[in-house]
Structure 1
Amino acid sequence: MIYTKTILLSLLWLSLATADVVAQMWKCKNQNPNLDNLQYSQDDALALIAQAPLTKTENESGYPYFFNNGYDNLGRVKDPKNNPPLKFPAAHCNNPTKRSKGGGGINDHYLLEIPISPQDHPYPFGNRADPQFGLARVIYAYPDKTFCGIVAHPRGSQGSLELCQQCKNASSVHSYLDIQGGGVTYGSSYRGGQRNALLNNDPSFFHASIMTALIKWATKAIKRPPSQPLCFPTSGFRNIPPSEVLEEERFAHFKQGQYYPANIGDVLDSKYQIVGKLGFGSTSTVWLACDLEGHRYVTVKIYTRSNGNEEEFQIFKQLNLGSSRHPGHAHIRRALNIFTIPRSGGDHLCLVQKPMWESFRDLLYRNPSHRFTEDLLKAGLMQVFLALDYLHTECKLVHTDIKSDNILQEIEDKSILESFTQAELANASPRKFVNGMPVYASRRFDLPKVFGRAVLSDFGSAVRGDERRNHDAQPNIYRSPEVMLKTDWSYPGDIWNVGVMVWDLFEGRHLFYGNDPDGKGYSTRAHLAEVMGVLGPPPLDMLQRGKRSHEFFTEDGKHSFRTDCA
């Protein structure tokens, strides 16, 4: 019964997480021509700018589709005390204004302003005979360049705003962005809106068809030249003695020459400079690198020769097909790039991703009690379930390998990345050379000042959820009854997986071990016996669907294995 409560508690937290997301959705108030219904406060706008996802229904929308920035149809501030407009200083194309929510470059929001000449446009503002010029304000997040909003303002609201010369030279959105045909829509054709409400309201709103072009322009406007590579020390480091086995040197693939001979300071794919080593595995090494073109830190996972998981790379493509507006999108670790290092004897596939801090498992062992607090567990599970909802509903994928090692924490405190680099420059990592092959000691990140959100990672075992399958999956101690009995399984297997993992995090030990009494280690019969000890026997219809049920149960549903397994 304790286990049942744990599962129910997990599902309760899932429902709470879902309710929290719904609460952040903004209802479309554009069904009434009263302009008061079109306003959002500055505090609400800033608080929800990154959290309010768009919906696909006619009567709902997230920020900023129906956002008029606190102005009335004459360009006057309607309620400066209770509902002030957003205030931005002058915006320059080459040095855009930054509004930082989290600091350190996280969720920074930039503003670019473009003049508009509605006389040149088939849809003049307000459908008036003598429309005035306005400003298109493009708000987006950097470095991800996530689109946040466009708002058009009449001349009266411009005040002393100053534009760069490049923007001043543009006479219209169409000519400046080289957009052919329509692109700005007003009136009844606007999504979810009523004609009167829009025609009587300045600022006017842009239809989604122009948004992509505007954000592409904004991205080009702030593009910086590539950074120069750093010069890392090539001497002064500690030489590891030949007798000491270091990291990947222990694996057979190393002895076979399958690892790529990466060196700190190398530039991969003409833009990723290796800064230091983060970790290793039996088929790869992982490095912190500086993206010289993107001016950001990334991780580069270099696979051993011909050992890149092609199926996993296809999964990464699938992960990008889901809506970025889904609240779980931010809790999935996606691929930024995939490239190949050509090499005689076999190429090396490389996976580029955002750097992450430690996993839930690492965090667990940082606590002397080896347990999560209730508050930490609730917050973490909410984010894991958001990630799973995105994975299941948007991408139609089942993870199948959810464990504390695969739930990472995003790096909110960017200073630890720079500290890592400076530490490598000042105190080069220990290393050794084996037959000319370099082997580096891994370096850890410092403890961040602020912890980032939880991110689900490692999709090497993910499969399509809309296809029938009954193959073995999941870590042994987290296997669901459907997997153990070889019945068809799908998305619910991930929920079981999380429910069992909760016990590890909260109790500091496994709920099920599956240790066979014969002393042979893990066995399915021992695991099933433990599950039955908590939940009782499986339903008869499940047993009838299981291809392995006959190994453990009689036709009438009674178990046929030794009772001492339980």
Structure 2
Amino acid sequence: MEMQKMVECLQRGVDTRPRKRPRLTWDVPAPAPHPPLPKVIPTVYCGQEFMNGLLPNYPYSSIYCKGVPRNISPPWRSDDKDGHYVFAIGENLTPRYRILSKMGEGTFGQVLECLDHERKEIVAIKVVRSIHKYREAAMIEIDVLQKLLRHDVGGRRCVQIRNWFDYRNHICIVFEKLGPSLYDFLRKNSYRSFPIDLVREFGRQLLESVAFMHDLRLIHTDLKPENILLVSSESIKIPDFKFLSRSMKDGSYFKNLPKSSAIKLIDFGSTTFEHQDHSYVVSTRHYRAPEVILGLGWNYPCDLWSVGCILVELCSGEALFQTHENLEHLAMMERVLGPLPQHMIIRADRRAEKYFKRSARLGWPDSSTSRESMRAVWKLPRLQNLIMQLVDNSAGDLIDLLQGLLRYDPGERLKARDALRHPFFTRDLRRVGYHL
């Protein structure tokens, strides 16, 4: 859908504190132009002990180069000191898969871009570290992925598992290859926000995916822009009117937008079945619900809190709660959303009692609070004011939706299917998608 009303967000004060670290995943941009290739792919050993993850990327044409054995397993090598698989670009991961590049790395292991010789397609393979707890977690993730695959007709909501196998003590999970994550797209676009119509499309698809998982009694527990991938890597440049009046250096007066709004959820390593025991802490810090911080237990509503935080970030370009400490996090919540409910404070777990005074009020700032922390909290506006700064049309509907998603009490928080019926998504029934 053509974008006719493009209104950029008003600039806010620049936060000089370190931004959240991007979590590497298998999202990559469209392949960049490369110099002429050699006839044979060079052997580049990959692992923390060799190249520290700095790897050359080869375009897909390199998979047809001659001189590299196709159906021969590589020689046995010891894993690196952290249990990561050590590999070489161009060699096989089992005779079926040929390694083209390293796409990312995380606590779980590495993600490799590979050619599937059998299906003649490019895939992403998650190679899990050869450590017992990560192997166990991988088997749980495979169980979740297979359940999603059985019920996700057409594969529109979640990344699809193609295959899995155990190779040299590493669980390997084969996925379809997707485009960049929303976080990666923002980062490479200098954290410039998405237009509101595109945010609406992302939000609708995200809530549909969450509702789908909740219907299957699954809780994702780690929703964030890093775990939402665009299906396509294609993008288009448009004028960025906020920069047109400034110096025209390095093309800063243009910004990129994805050509298609289609997205899928990934990373089900922390996904929990409703009947399973729930760990004490879930979610990445910036998207963590208050009931988790307060030790009140959590369930499906923790995913909806994360969705609310994500929608604000897509509108602004930066995380709503940029913090790394519980007390400061709670103070930021109160600054944006108002005081925490007394009934939640009274029921707080012993580990969270220290955040409150005897009067059942948040004990912030305390003697250890830095000036930097105080500035970070005080600069935050109320939710309504923040959205009015960022959004022109649809601001009222978006504020009302976010107030439902970011309710402190999880019992009062909007459910995914109720959120999908909100006027922010339904008011203009002519909206059929976002395509350029």
**Is the TM value for this pair above 0.5?**
yes
Q: CA deviation at 1:499?
A: 0.8
| 1:313-462 equivalence runs, <5 A | 313-322=139-148, 330-342=156-168, 347-368=169-190, 370-394=192-216, 396-411=217-232, 451=260, 453-462=262-271
Q: CA contact under 8 A between 1:554 and 1:560: conserved in structure 2?
A: yes
2:91 is the counterpart of 1:266: yes
Q: CA deviation at 1:398?
A: 1.6
Note the alpha carbon deviations across 1:379-423, whole angstroms, 9 max, x for none.
1111111111111112x222221111111112488xxxxxxxxxx
Note the alpha carbon deviations across 1:252-307, whole angstroms, 9 max, x for none.
x9752733232334333332222333233455332222222233321122233336
Note the alpha carbon deviations across 1:50-81, whole angstroms, 9 max, x for none.
xxxxxxxxxxxxxxxxxxxxxxxxxxxxxxxx
Match of 1:5 in 2: none
Q: CA contact under 8 A between 2:45 and 2:88: conserved in structure 1?
A: no
| 1:300-315 equivalence runs, <5 A | 300-306=125-131, 308-315=134-141
Distance 1:292 1:352 in 2: 13
User: Which residue, 482, 487, 499 being the options, matches 2:296?
Assistant: 487
Against the structure 1 CA distance between its residues 317 and 398, is the aligned structure 2 distance closer, same or farther, given a 3 Å change threshold?
same
Distance 1:289 1:448 in 2: 27
Which one-letter code corresponds to 2:131 in the other structure? S
Q: CA contact under 8 A between 1:470 and 1:483: conserved in structure 2?
A: no
Distance 1:513 1:351 in 2: 32
Q: CA deviation at 1:529?
A: 1.2
**Count of matched residue positions in the alignment of Structure 1 and Structure 2:** 287
RMSD (CA atoms): 3.7
Distance 1:545 1:329 in 2: 41
Match of 1:9 in 2: none
Q: CA contact under 8 A between 2:201 and 2:261: conserved in structure 1?
A: no
Which one-letter code corresponds to 1:336 in the other structure? R
Note the alpha carbon deviations across 1:438-464, whole angstroms, 9 max, x for none.
xxxxxxxxx999546211111122222
Against the structure 1 CA distance between its residues 376 and 256, is the aligned structure 2 distance closer, same or farther, given a 3 Å change threshold?
same
Q: CA contact under 8 A between 1:301 and 1:352: conserved in structure 2?
A: yes
Which one-letter code corresponds to 2:123 in the other structure? V
Match of 1:542 in 2: 344
Which one-letter code corresponds to 1:303 in the other structure? V
Distance 1:505 1:477 in 2: 14
Match of 2:119 in 1: 294
User: Which residue, 353, 356, 362 being the options, matches 1:559?
Assistant: 362
Distance 1:236 1:293 in 2: 23
Which structure has more relative contact order (CA 8 Å, sep 6+)? It is 2
> Please, which runs of 5 or more residues in structure 1 have no aligned partner?
1-230, 414-446, 515-521
Which one-letter code corresponds to 2:325 in the other structure? S
Which one-letter code corresponds to 2:348 in the other structure? G
Distance 1:552 1:512 in 2: 17
Q: CA deviation at 1:326?
A: 5.4
> Could you say what secondary structure the match of 1:559 adopts?
coil
Query: Identity of counterpart residues, as a percentage?
Result: 26
Q: CA deviation at 1:474?
A: 1.4
Against the structure 1 CA distance between its residues 293 and 488, is the aligned structure 2 distance closer, same or farther, given a 3 Å change threshold?
same
- With the length of structure 1 as denominator, give the TM-score of the two structures: 0.45
Q: CA contact under 8 A between 1:279 and 1:287: conserved in structure 2?
A: yes
Q: CA deviation at 1:232?
A: 8.8
Match of 2:313 in 1: 504
- With the length of structure 2 as denominator, give the TM-score of the two structures: 0.57
Q: CA contact under 8 A between 1:297 and 1:355: conserved in structure 2?
A: yes
Which one-letter code corresponds to 2:338 in the other structure? G
Q: CA contact under 8 A between 1:339 and 1:350: conserved in structure 2?
A: yes
Q: CA deviation at 1:238?
A: 9.5
Larger radius of gyration: 1
Against the structure 1 CA distance between its residues 405 and 271, is the aligned structure 2 distance closer, same or farther, given a 3 Å change threshold?
same
| 1:73-472 equivalence runs, <5 A | 233-234=39-40, 246-247=52-53, 256=81, 258-281=83-106, 283-306=108-131, 308-322=134-148, 330-342=156-168, 347-368=169-190, 370-394=192-216, 396-411=217-232, 451=260, 453-467=262-276, 469=278, 471-472=280-281
> Could you say what secondary structure the match of 2:192 adopts?
coil
Distance 2:113 2:44 in 1: 20
Which one-letter code corresponds to 2:294 in the other structure? L
Q: CA contact under 8 A between 1:468 and 1:489: conserved in structure 2?
A: no
Which one-letter code corresponds to 1:460 in the other structure? G
Larger deviation: 319-328 or 294-303?
Answer: 319-328
Q: CA contact under 8 A between 2:108 and 2:129: conserved in structure 1?
A: yes
